[in-house]
Amino acid sequence: MTAPTTTDRDLADGPVDDGRPAGRRFGVLVVAAAVVVGLLLGYAGGLLTPRLTRPGDASAEAGFARDMTSHHAQAVEMGLIAFQRGTDPEVVSIGGDIATGQQGELGAMQAWLRSWGLDPTGSQPRMAWMPDGEDTVRDGLMPGMATPEELARLRAAQGRELDVLFVELMIRHHTGGIHMIDGILDVSDQPDVVRTAQTMKNTQQTDLTNLRAALARLKG
C-alpha cells in the first residue's frame, strides 16, 4: 500500500482571478504554507523522538502509521476543499484546521516509519494490525473513509451543498478514525505512538462536537 501524497494544483498555481475575494485567496496560501510547515514539523518531531526499541514491519505500530497516513491524507484533501470553496465561515475554519493539523500528524507518522527503518508500505493487508480490523475494510476503504463517488461529489459541489456534504463526510471520517486510534491505544506501549494517538483522539473528538453542531445549524 502506498501512502498517498497530498497535492493541490489550485494552491501550486498561485493567485489568480478566480472570483474569490482577495482575502480568501490569501487565506488559501496561508493554509497551504501551514500544511507544508506542519508536514515538516511532523517529520522533525518523529525523527527527533528517542526510541529504545523499534517496532517491526508487521507490528501494530507500523500498521497503524501506514493506514492512518492514508486515512489522514483523505481528510487533508477534504479539509482543503472546504477551506477553499466552503461558504459557511465555520465550515471554512474547520476545514482549514483539519487540513493543517492532520498534515502535521501525517508527517510524524511517516517519520516514525523512517526512524524504525521501515518502508512506507508493508506486506500486511489494511487494518490487519488491529484485532478483527480486516473485517472493517469495505471495498478497500478503511473505517469512515469516503468512497471515490463521494469525493467526486464533494469536488463538484458548490455553496451550501458543499458545506453540508463536507460536514457529513467528515463526521463519518473522524468517527472511523477514532475507532482506529482506539485500536492502537489498546495494544501499543510505544510512548510517542501512544502520546500522539491520544492527541489525535482528543482533537478529533473536539472536531466532532463542532461538526455536529455545524450540521444541525446548516440543516436547521
Q: What is the pLDDT of residues 124-170, one digit of tens each?
A: 999 999 999 999 999 999 999 999 999 999 999 999 999 999 999 99
**9 found inside a domain:** no
Looking up cell 521501515 gives 118
**11 found inside a domain:** no
Q: Given a cut of 90, is residue 104 above it in pLDDT?
A: yes
Side-chain half-sphere CA neighbours of 28 within 13 A: 22
Q: What pLDDT was estimated at residue 87?
A: 98
Give tens-digit pLDDT for 158-211: 999 999 999 999 999 999 999 999 999 999 999 999 999 999 999 999 999 999
Domain of 73: which CATH number? 1.20.1260.10
**5 found inside a domain:** no
Amino acid (one-letter) located at 99: A
Q: What pLDDT was estimated at residue 97?
A: 98
**105 found inside a domain:** yes
Average pLDDT over residues 99-118: 97
Q: What pLDDT was estimated at residue 39?
A: 57
Task: Yes or no: say if 60 and 130 are a contact pair by the CB < 8 Å rule.
Answer: yes
Q: What pLDDT was estimated at residue 113?
A: 97
Q: What pLDDT was estimated at residue 57?
A: 96
Q: Is pLDDT larger for residue 46 or for residue 153?
A: 153
Q: What is the DSSP letter of 138?
A: B
CA-based Rg of the chain, rounded to a whole angstrom?
17
**3 found inside a domain:** no
Average pLDDT over residues 51-55: 73
**83 found inside a domain:** yes
- Provide the β-strand partners of residue 138: 141
Q: Could you count the other beta carbons within 10 Å of the beta carbon of residue 71?
A: 24
**139 found inside a domain:** yes
Q: How many domains does the chain have?
A: 1
**4 found inside a domain:** no
> 90 lies in which domain range?
20-219
